[in-house]
Amino acid sequence: MNTFDVVRAINSVLYISERLQRSDFHKIFKILYFSDREHLMEYGRAITGDRYIAMKYGPVPSNLYDIFKSVRGNSFFSDNGKFSQYFSVINDDIIKPNRKADMRELSKSDVKHLDNSIHIYGKMSMDEICDKSHDYAWNNTLIDREIDWRNIILEAGGDEEYIQFVKENYCANTIVEYA
């Protein structure tokens, strides 16, 4: 669908984790999902551009999950300090920022949707946020498979005309890397 933007994704994670009382993988992933979904619906692009996988407890951003696991030290990929300079993983699933989010890397619309999702979902329990994330898009995807971005748009209230608009104007298959 969109381009996975590593810079924007990492800064979104830092931004979220700075604002949550408990910044565990699950909470961060769900806040990112809701933020990406609503931003996609309003602006035609997701904030992170990540691919979401339908996992047991809801949508999980695939690339970010791989990055989190590499920092934690149990990934096929080695971090080698590339991402651990930005955050650490404590107690297996808590993100501890090692620096503040670079606000120059997040647009005003990114921050608006991140703030909105933090406000709505940030204090929910794991069960509550899990229930909310088991939406139309998740329910129409096999477990451990990629969620179709068209279903994410439909869940957010879009229609086939809007899906076509996004497809023609914003779709890409590349990854934006840190320099």
80: pLDDT confidence band, cut at 50, 70 and 90?
confident
CA distance 173 to 168: 13
Q: What is the DSSP letter of 142?
A: -
Contact call for residues 41 and 156 (beta carbons, < 8 A): yes
User: How many structural domains comprise the chain?
Assistant: 1
Give residue 58's domain range.
4-176
CA distance 32 to 26: 10
Which tens digit of pLDDT belongs to each residue from 121-135?
999 999 999 999 999
Question: Can you name the residues that pair with 5 across neighbouring β-strands?
Answer: 176
Which tens digit of pLDDT belongs to each residue from 9-54?
999 999 999 999 999 999 999 999 999 999 999 998 999 999 999 9
CA distance 130 to 120: 13
Residues 6+ apart with CB under 8 A from 17: 23, 28, 87, 95, 96, 97
Contact call for residues 131 and 53 (beta carbons, < 8 A): no
179: pLDDT confidence band, cut at 50, 70 and 90?
very low
At residue 83, φ and ψ (nearest 5 deg) are -110, -25
- pTM score of the predicted model: 0.92
